[in-house]
Amino acid sequence: MYNKILVTLDATPTDRAIIEHVKALALIMHSRVVLLHVADGWAARMFGPDAVSPEIAEDKAYLEKVQVEFQSAGIPTEAELAFGEPGEQIIKWVRGKSCDLVAMSTHGHRFLADLFLGTTSRRVRHSVGVPVLLLKAR
């Protein structure tokens, strides 16, 4: 059912909820996993893939660490780093490379905060044609 699962990561502790959930799901479904983090700092937005900064180096190291974690559990896993606005880049990835499920952690803002701040998860779920699994971080 879910041959390829896209897991979006924001390199914060909220990722743990979706990582653990998708590990179990991927094992049951014999899925491949793609980990996607969108670097959205100043350098990433200005220079895209040519950006060099301590933040980008940390992002790459984080993705590698999580990739090894999935692979150690026997789950075929790729890791990709995108650059720019997270919602836009996630949608672009789904449309361009396809997957069967998008899995995301949410920060659990309330209605008013979401109105003023907007949410990446809301934008993604209304813009892609595949199921989106949203898991509220603890």
From first to last of its 138 residues, what are the pLDDT tens digits of the chain?
A: 899 999 999 999 989 999 999 999 999 999 999 999 999 888 888 887 888 888 899 999 999 999 999 999 999 999 999 999 999 999 999 999 999 999 998 865 555 444 444 478 888 988 899 999 998 877
* pTM as predicted: 0.88
- Indicate which CATH number applies to the domain containing 56: 3.40.50.620
Which residues span the domain enclosing 17?
Answer: 4-136
pLDDT at 53: 87
Q: Over the range 36-63, which residues count as b (16 or more CB within 10 Å of their CB) and which as e? A: bbbbbeebbeeeeeebeeebbeebeebb
CB 65 within 8 A of CB 58: no
Beta bridge partners of 83: 39
Q: How many domains would you assign to the chain?
A: 1
Coil, strand or helix: which one is 80? Answer: strand
- For residues 75 and 53, give the distance between their C-alpha atoms in angstroms, rounded to a whole number: 30
- For residues 66 and 83, give the distance between their C-alpha atoms in angstroms, rounded to a whole number: 19
pLDDT at 110: 53
Residues written for the chain? 138
